[in-house]
Structure 1
């Protein structure tokens, strides 16, 4: 054990400047702290309170004149200055027992010639030998040094309990801060969804308005054409009538009487044309067109605010088979920034792409070389610039959104003596496009830059086969062990954050897939032993189980989130998209 340090100039300066009460100019006895953070002996403060005129319910600091309200229980209820008390103890220990100041008289008040040497636990009093013999014979007496030692041990034990309380507080506080961050993310996402819905509805209104305006224009043009046709027909008839009338007038002016009489029957016949002259008319109502607006805003809501997290299946696509849009073993999913979904089918050894609503787009990969062909695809992930990463045997292969092969890299070296051959399984990408790859045979997770260069390598005994992997927002890697029923979290340095057994309601479940949302919460697909009764469960960032997201799934494996917060699940023979309702 190291020897106690000798008093130094610094210690003396501390004892003069920091451990003397500014009122009595003596070492603090039971120091109390005012709101202004100045400290004084309890007795000195009590004298200030007793002597104040007029009587007030506050103490004026003798140093800075700031006011501190007197507690209901008096000066003794003010905060203790544990720091000063501890500092005084340290100074006293340095000075040695001969220099120790006596804060209280060591003489017995009843027997003034006797030293106090015992503490009576029964009466909670310091007593001398005579008191012990005369008044405390049947009581529990402890020597003062032993009593102080026991007291210090008790204080240490209580302080250790406080340390545990502090650890619990830190854990709870971290959980609350995580929930607060997650809430803010959810608020921002929900606001964006409302605005998107608003724009969608406005776009629908604008489209409906455009169609109505086009129809009104079309009706107007049709009726104008109709009106012009009728007018043209009537004008033609009138022109013929005018010609006949003009001919008759010329004849009446130029012919003599005999000619007129000779032509009378013919002229009168021609003048009968007006009896057959019928002009077309249009209905007056054909000149009207108007608009009656529907009150769509008053009766139709954009949506509703969800204050509890509940999930339901939004879309399901695919079925068992080997045709287009069908699956034999949908094991993992990834999502591009536009919402398109890529599904890895490990049994058919191919990839398929679908739109955000599940419409089939394409199957297979376009590779100009043998390297681009897939042999044993297991996991898929998408980078921030929409590059698709696929674990294929010992390699990570990179494709674009159209599934065109670009390049590949190999996280592990070839066969090394004493090690098994590499087999890559899970893959994940964080916000900074750092790539994490799980090698389930070598029990290694390697962290890479986008060009494939290594950042770090993490070994962990719980990495099993198969291994799904995800990256949280706090630079943490979360993976599951299907066989050992484990969910494990490590940081990028390999330090274990938590290692928990996946049991729900006391019953063990096999974790098959894992992913994280933007806030860092964890979602785990779990098997209870039989296909058709699988579930998805929600954990917080510290590994605490929150609840069940979905039940009755067939065989959920890999999962990921869409840019809008929906959860995509590879369900072996189909893909489910879950959303909050």
Structure 2
């Protein structure tokens, strides 16, 4: 089995040679695919177009110079390479686990700075013991598999991203990723929706990740009272069970 330093070196090599944008020399951020199949960060292409090809309907690839015709909405309309995004996320996950060693990872759910002791293998969240129990009590996540970080670091549990980060699709425009959340209609929408049937100023929308963060904070605030309620219900259930047992004994006397 590969040692910690060997694994770290392998991860560094993969990241440097295969998952870095040739413009910014950093890990891909929202990579866009050109017709030549070269990939570049969305922001890098936006800057490239604004400085060298402002107003052009086609741009030459910064690497091979083959031209790519731009969609009407520009660089943002180019296809996003979700495969690369998944690889970057997978690499960063492995780096985080291998590099953390005995260091303390904080819970992704609560805001109390609690140490994470568990990780959900389905949605990828690092959680403290309290949040991991709550995670398995919600109907939507009750079938998720949660593993101790200790077992993950020791290689007893295999961690993968293959079931994570499934990008939601737009319900109206087939094949389009729902990257925004319309706060007016309370629904996920795609880029086409923002210029067709969810236009400003009649509609207000935000990035999907921002909406997720906002609603996540609202859910976190519900955890403490829910935990207390569950505890009280368990006590009441135990009390009822004891009462039933006492009644049964009395009837037999």
TM-score (norm 2): 0.38
Choose between structure 1 and 2 for higher RCO, CA contacts under 8 A separated by at least 6 residues: 2
- Larger strand fraction of residues: 1
Larger Rg: 1
- Larger helix fraction of residues: 2
